Amino acid sequence: MTPIRMGTRASVLATTQSRWVGDRLSAALGREVALVEITTEGDRDGQPLAQLGGTGVFVSALREALLDGRIDVAVHSLKDLPTTPAPGIVLAAVPLREDPRDVVVARDGLTLGELPAGSRVGTGSPRRAAQLHALGLGLEITEIRGNVDTRIRKVREGAYDAVVLARAGLARIGRLDEATEVLDPLLMLPAPGQGALAVETREGDDLTHDVAVLDDPRSRAAVTAERRVLATLEGGCAAPIGVLAEVVEGEAGEELWVRAAALSPDGTLAVRMSATGDPADAAGVGDRLGEQMLDEGAGRLTEAQAAPPAQPGTPHEQPVADCERQDA
């Protein structure tokens, strides 16, 4: 039987997480999985993602390869996926999600609260920047790009006092011990879908049913609610929006808890709300929470930070969660 061709970006993190998916798919189906590296628009261009349009720059090339038959399955960081479904493509599985929280990697083992006022903290995410400003610690929040290794090296070399990264990325590449603090969601809400992976197949392909063995219902319900909040707020990756949903055990069974925040870039204005509901109605819970936030003025914050038009050659798609690279 021919191997399943699994499309992935070529970065260390992307190939690591694709191998993780491939190993589990191979074990479940008894078939070989072969990784196929695809270069995306976000990998080729050195501009900040918000200037590229921020929408699908890590996704479109993989989806094109899937649709034209070069690969059978595509693996993405779920927070990179535009919120509107792609014609001809199915989200076949959302595997068990990694811890979605953000972490700090700081000099001398410091936490955010221990950094002196004026310390340089690097992030490429407007969401993280706004929430860092909102903490009122007097930190200098500075733009940074590059993969995990590049960002941590800049801290070690003294160019930055700290950087903020996704815990999931560090965990997947075996570098979690370099984090000096895991940020409580009360301080830093993650991007919608952060820590989750998306496994896509072609619509109508028999492989879709087979790949569904990797789906984790709780993870799918959580990220569905988070992404519906984002879609309702119509916030592109340049809008500082954080959302976290969790499926927990309640008195009457499983409950879905969702917390969300939309902020001004400087963190001085924010709309923060929460909601609960049935995990089976994850989309509805997310929609209603987003609408309630719009009623409280969140739209004015997200409209002010709408992503600029995509550059020529960059697909125009619906909101993605964060302007950070997938590798961070």
Q: Is-catalytic flag, 266?
A: no
Residue 41 and residue 17 share a domain: yes
Domains in the chain: how many in total?
3
Q: Is residue 49 part of a domain?
A: yes
Q: Is residue 142 part of a domain?
A: yes
Look at residue 56 in the predicted model and tell me its pLDDT.
59
Residue 266 and residue 211 share a domain: no
Residue 137 and residue 88 share a domain: no
Residue 1 and residue 82 share a domain: yes
Look at residue 300 in the predicted model and tell me its pLDDT.
86
Residue 29 and residue 82 share a domain: yes
Q: Which domain holds residue 52?
A: 1-96+196-215
Structure tokens that stand for 233 in this block = 């707020």
Amino acid (one-letter) located at 289:
L
Residue 211 and residue 128 share a domain: no
Report the CATH number at residue 263.
Answer: 3.30.160.40
Residue 271's CB: how many other CB atoms inside 10 A? 22
Rounded Cα distance between 194 and 27, Å, is 26
- This prediction has a pTM of 0.88
How does DSSP assign 26-74, residue by residue?
Answer: HHHHT--EEEEE---HHHH--S-HHHHTSSSTTTHHHHHHHHTTS-SEE
| DSSP secondary structure letter of residue 234 | T
Look at residue 312 in the predicted model and tell me its pLDDT.
37
Residue 206 and residue 224 share a domain: no
State the catalytic residue, choosing from 80, 210, 322, 327: 80
Look at residue 234 in the predicted model and tell me its pLDDT.
82
Q: Is residue 224 part of a domain?
A: yes
Q: Is residue 270 part of a domain?
A: yes
Residue 210 and residue 91 share a domain: yes
Report the CATH number at residue 136.
Answer: 3.40.190.10
CA torsion 167-76-309-146 (nearest 10°) is 50
Residue 84 and residue 19 share a domain: yes
Q: Is residue 266 part of a domain?
A: yes
Look at residue 236 in the predicted model and tell me its pLDDT.
58
For residue 256, the cross-strand partners are 247, 277
Residue 109 and residue 171 share a domain: yes
Amino acid (one-letter) located at 212:
A
pLDDT 10s per residue in the chain (328 long)?
899 999 999 999 999 999 999 999 999 999 999 999 998 655 444 444 444 444 456 799 999 999 999 999 999 999 999 999 899 999 999 999 999 999 999 999 999 999 999 999 999 999 999 999 999 999 999 999 888 999 999 999 999 999 999 999 999 999 999 999 999 999 999 999 999 999 999 999 999 999 999 999 999 999 999 999 999 998 656 679 999 999 999 888 999 999 999 999 999 999 999 999 999 999 999 999 999 999 999 988 866 554 444 433 333 345 666 656 545 6
